[in-house]
Amino acid sequence: MFTGLVQSLGTIDRVSVGAVTDLWVTSTFDPTDFVLGESISCDGVCLTVVEFQGPRFRVQAAPETLRRSTLGNWAPGTRVNLEKALRAGERLGGHLVQGHVDGVATVLETRPDGGSWVMRFSLPSSLAAFFVDKGSVCIDGVSLTVTSVESDRFSVMLIPETLQRTSLGAKGVGAKVNLEADIIGKYVARMVGLRGGLSEAQLKAAGFE
């Protein structure tokens, strides 16, 4: 479990594609704090540390992960948002994030608004039911608040601190990002669907998987 508060801005060092994809990531994490098998959110994707050398660590991604996220497009030099798993008893500064990507969205617009930065994204139809105005969303591992939502798009606003500490400010129109809808919203939507008499097939068609 994560919070969507980015702890390090990492860089992809090396990518090796095989039965599984191996990725080496350079971070600013304390090299003495790594544990084999621990989970790290990389641009919102929960991955397992299988090896580490100082601040560098290696993770592996299965074909399903490549299909459901932007990870298949990562190459040496790609900047990624990193967060280690939440420890019991720590503050929940963002919102509950699983690191399970629900879909990929496209940047539709970026523009300044005062001292902040507005970003508008496409909204996959299968996820539309989980988005509400002023609700939470995780974009590339960053916990953000939805500032407006329409049937096929939504917007967020980034403060200067978020622009400095994450990779989102560098993404222009057409860039792809990982989306994870708020888990509480997903459970509420499913319960409402079940109470409304929808079948499992209808729920799945509506995106309530």
Q: pLDDT, tens digit, for every residue of 82-125?
A: 999 987 777 777 788 999 999 999 999 999 999 999 999 999 99
Kindly report the CATH number assigned to the domain that includes residue 186: 2.40.30.20
Domain that holds residue 109: 103-205
| Measured distance CA(79)–CA(65) in Å, rounded | 18
- Calculate mean pLDDT across residues 146-152: 95
Q: Tell me if 92 is assigned to some domain.
A: no
Q: Tell me if 2 is assigned to some domain.
A: no
Task: Say yes or no to pLDDT of 163 above 90.
Answer: yes
Residue 39 annotated in active site? yes
Same domain? 126 vs 194: yes
Catalytic residue among 145, 148, 199, 205: 145
Residue 167 annotated in active site? no
Tell me the C-alpha to C-alpha distance, in Å, between residue 171 and each of 15, 32, 158, 166, 185.
21, 32, 12, 10, 27
Q: Tell me if 89 is assigned to some domain.
A: no
Same domain? 74 vs 141: no
The CA-based angle 129-132-138, given to 5 degrees, is 90
Signed CA dihedral, 86, 164, 161, 121: sign only: negative
Catalytic residue among 8, 11, 85, 100: 100
Under 8 Å between Cβ of 136 and 122: no
SS3 38: coil
Residue 62 annotated in active site? yes
Same domain? 190 vs 113: yes
